[in-house]
Structure 1
Amino acid sequence: PMIRRGWLERGPGPDDRRGRDEFVPVSWSEALDRLGAELGRVRDTRGPQGVFGGSYGWSSAGRFHHAQSQIHRFLNTAMGGYVRSVNSYSSGASSVLVPHVLGHYEDLTKRNVTWEQVAEHSEIVLAFGGMALKNSMVAGGTVSRHVERGAMAQARARGCEFVVVGPLRGDLPEEAGADWISAIPGTDTALMLALVHTLVIEKLHDQGFLDRYTVGWPILERYVMGVDDGQPKDAAWAAGLTGVAAETIVQLARRLAGKRALIVVAHSLQRAEFGEQPVWMGLALAAVLGQIGLPGGGFGYALGAIAYYGRRFNAVPIPTLSQGRNPVRDFIPVARIADMLLNPGAAFRYNGQTLSYPDIALVYWAGGNPFHHHQDLNRLRRAFARVDTVVVHELGWTATARHADIVLPCTMTLERDDIGGNGNDPLLTPMQRIAEPFGEARDDYAIFADLAARLGATEAFTEGRSVRQWLEHLYEPTRAGLEARGDVAPDFAEFWNGPGLELPQQDDDGGKQRAFRSDPEAAPLATPSGRVELFSSTIAGFGEASCPGHPTWLTRSETPSPTAPLYLIANQPATRLHSQLDFGG
Structure 2
Amino acid sequence: MTVNKPSSLAGQMINPSRRGLLKGFAALASATALSPIPGAREANAFAYEPYPRDDDLQTVVTSCAHNCGSRHMLVAHKKGDVIVRLSTDDGRYQAGGAFGKDTEAEPQLRACLRGRSYRSRLYSPERLLYPMVRVGERGEGKFKRISWDEALSQIAAKMVKLRDTYGPTALLDQSYAGASYGVLHKSDQIEGLLGRFLGMFGCRTSSWSVPSYQGTTFSSRITFGTIEDGNEDDAFAHSKLIIMWGWNPAYTFHGGNTFYYMRLAKQRGCKFVLVDPQYTDSASAYDAWWIPIRPNTDAAMMAGMAHEIFASNLHDQAFIDRFCQGMDRGTMPGWAQNRESFKDYILGLSNGQPKTPEWAAAICGVSAEDIRKLARMYATTKPAALKASWSPGRNAYGEQYNRMAAALQAMTGNIGVLGGSSEGVGKAWHAEAVAYPYDQYSNIWYASIKSDRWAHVVLNYPNVRREEAGLWPRADQLDGVIPNIKGIFWQGSDWLNQLTNINKQLAAIKKLELVVCMDSTITPSGLWADYLLPVATHFERHDVALPWYKGHYYIHRPKVIQPLGESKSDFQIFTELAYRLGFGPAYNPRATRDYFNNDDAVDEAYLAAWWERVQHHQGVEMSWEEFKKRGVYKFKLPQPHVAFRDQVEKGAPFPTPSGRIEIFSTVLAQTADFSRTQWGYPIPAIPKWIEPWESLNSPKTATMPFHLVSPHPRWRTHSIFNNIPWLRETFSQEVTINASDARRLGIKTGDTVEVWNDRGKCVVPAYVTERCMPGVLVLHEGAWMDIDENGVDRSGNPDFLTLDEPSPAGAFAYNTVLANIRKTDLRHRPGWDQLATSRSAVFRRDL
**Same fold per TM (> 0.5)?**
yes
Distance 1:490 1:3, change over 3 A: same
State the partner residue of 1:370: 495
Q: Which of 515, 523, 527 is residue 646 of structure 2 equivalent to?
A: 515
State the partner residue of 2:665: 536
2:150 matches 1:30:
yes
Q: Which of 633, 656, 662 is residue 527 of structure 1 equivalent to?
A: 656
1:449: how far off?
2.6
Contact 1:266 1:301 in 2 (8 A): yes
2:533 matches 1:446:
no
2:478 matches 1:338:
no
Distance 1:22 1:548, change over 3 A: same
Q: Give the letter aligned to residue 577 of structure 1.
A: T
1:282: how far off?
0.4
State the partner residue of 1:478: 611
Contact 1:352 1:539 in 2 (8 A): no
State the partner residue of 2:16: none
Contact 2:217 2:425 in 1 (8 A): no
Distance 1:80 1:46, change over 3 A: same
Q: Deviations 1:329-384 (Å, cap 9, x if unpaired)?
A: 42112222212322334223349969443112221222111122111111111121
Higher mean displacement: 500-509 or 292-301: 500-509
State the partner residue of 1:12: none
2:507 matches 1:382:
yes
Q: Which of 301, 321, 326 is residue 436 of structure 2 equivalent to?
A: 321
Taking the aligned partners of 1:202 and 1:347, their CA distance within structure 2 comes to 47
What SS does structure 2 have at the residue aligned with 1:150? Answer: helix
2:614 matches 1:504:
no
Taking the aligned partners of 2:271 and 2:561, their CA distance within structure 1 comes to 48
1:273: how far off?
0.9
Taking the aligned partners of 1:93 and 1:113, their CA distance within structure 2 comes to 19
Taking the aligned partners of 1:104 and 1:302, their CA distance within structure 2 comes to 9
State the partner residue of 2:423: 300
Taking the aligned partners of 2:471 and 2:452, their CA distance within structure 1 comes to 14
* Structure 2: tracts of 5 or more residues without a match: 1-130, 329-340, 474-478, 675-680, 724-783, 786-847
What SS does structure 1 have at the residue aligned with 2:565? Answer: coil
2:355 matches 1:233:
yes
Normalising to structure 2: TM-score of the pair?
Answer: 0.61
2:531 matches 1:416:
no
Taking the aligned partners of 2:618 and 2:530, their CA distance within structure 1 comes to 51
Q: Deviations 1:144-174 (Å, cap 9, x if unpaired)?
A: xx42112112112222211110112216354
Higher mean displacement: 388-397 or 282-291: 388-397
Distance 1:147 1:57, change over 3 A: closer
Taking the aligned partners of 2:202 and 2:351, their CA distance within structure 1 comes to 54
Q: Give the letter aligned to residue 313 of structure 2.
A: K
State the partner residue of 1:347: 465
Taking the aligned partners of 1:414 and 1:446, their CA distance within structure 2 comes to 16
1:22: how far off?
3.2
Taking the aligned partners of 2:173 and 2:505, their CA distance within structure 1 comes to 16
State the partner residue of 1:9: none
State percent identity of aligned pairs.
28
Contact 1:90 1:267 in 2 (8 A): yes
Distance 1:198 1:543, change over 3 A: farther
Taking the aligned partners of 1:543 and 1:281, their CA distance within structure 2 comes to 24
Distance 1:210 1:479, change over 3 A: same
Q: What does residue range 74-93 of structure 1 map to in structure 2 within 5 Å?
A: 74-77=197-200, 79-80=201-202, 82-93=204-215
Distance 1:404 1:250, change over 3 A: same
Taking the aligned partners of 1:543 and 1:81, their CA distance within structure 2 comes to 29
Q: Give the letter aligned to residue 100 of structure 1.
A: I
Q: Give the letter aligned to residue 282 of structure 1.
A: A
2:714 matches 1:574:
yes
1:526: how far off?
1.8
Distance 1:543 1:459, change over 3 A: closer
Taking the aligned partners of 2:509 and 2:471, their CA distance within structure 1 comes to 26
Contact 1:133 1:172 in 2 (8 A): yes
Distance 1:464 1:533, change over 3 A: closer
Q: Which of 131, 136, 143 is residue 253 of structure 2 equivalent to?
A: 136
1:318: how far off?
5.6
* Structure 1: tracts of 5 or more residues without a match: 7-16, 140-145, 304-308
State the partner residue of 1:53: 173
Taking the aligned partners of 1:495 and 1:260, their CA distance within structure 2 comes to 38
What SS does structure 1 have at the residue aligned with 2:176? Answer: coil
What SS does structure 2 have at the residue aligned with 1:393? Answer: strand
State the partner residue of 1:42: 162
Contact 1:126 1:164 in 2 (8 A): yes
Taking the aligned partners of 2:617 and 2:684, their CA distance within structure 1 comes to 49
CA RMSD for the aligned pairs? 2.7
Larger radius of gyration: 2
Higher mean displacement: 27-36 or 317-326: 317-326
Q: Which of 305, 315, 318 is residue 208 of structure 1 equivalent to?
A: 318
Q: Which of 554, 559, 563 is residue 428 of structure 1 equivalent to?
A: 554
State the partner residue of 1:277: 400
Q: Deviations 1:426-452 (Å, cap 9, x if unpaired)?
A: 443332334433333333233223222
What SS does structure 1 have at the residue aligned with 2:532? Answer: strand
Q: Which of 401, 409, 414 is residue 286 of structure 1 equivalent to?
A: 409
Q: Deviations 1:266-299 (Å, cap 9, x if unpaired)?
A: 1111111111111000011111112221111142
Q: Deviations 1:209-267 (Å, cap 9, x if unpaired)?
A: 22221111231111111123322111111121122121111122221223212222111
Taking the aligned partners of 2:471 and 2:643, their CA distance within structure 1 comes to 24
Q: Give the letter aligned to residue 5 of structure 1.
A: V
Distance 1:195 1:330, change over 3 A: same
2:345 matches 1:223:
yes
Q: What does residue range 93-172 of structure 1 map to in structure 2 within 5 Å?
A: 93-105=215-227, 107-108=228-229, 112-120=230-238, 122-136=239-253, 146-170=256-280, 172=282
What SS does structure 2 have at the residue aligned with 1:391? Answer: strand
Normalising to structure 1: TM-score of the pair?
Answer: 0.86
1:67: how far off?
3.8
State the partner residue of 1:399: 524
Taking the aligned partners of 1:74 and 1:538, their CA distance within structure 2 comes to 33
2:389 matches 1:266:
yes
What SS does structure 1 have at the residue aligned with 2:536? Answer: coil
What SS does structure 2 have at the residue aligned with 1:283? Answer: helix
Taking the aligned partners of 1:410 and 1:222, their CA distance within structure 2 comes to 56
Q: Deviations 1:508-540 (Å, cap 9, x if unpaired)?
A: 4656622222344xx211222221122224324
Q: Deviations 1:42-83 (Å, cap 9, x if unpaired)?
A: 344444332222211211344322344332232234x13522
Contact 1:536 1:549 in 2 (8 A): yes
Contact 2:491 2:519 in 1 (8 A): yes
Higher helix share: 1
Q: Give the letter aligned to residue 535 of structure 1.
A: F
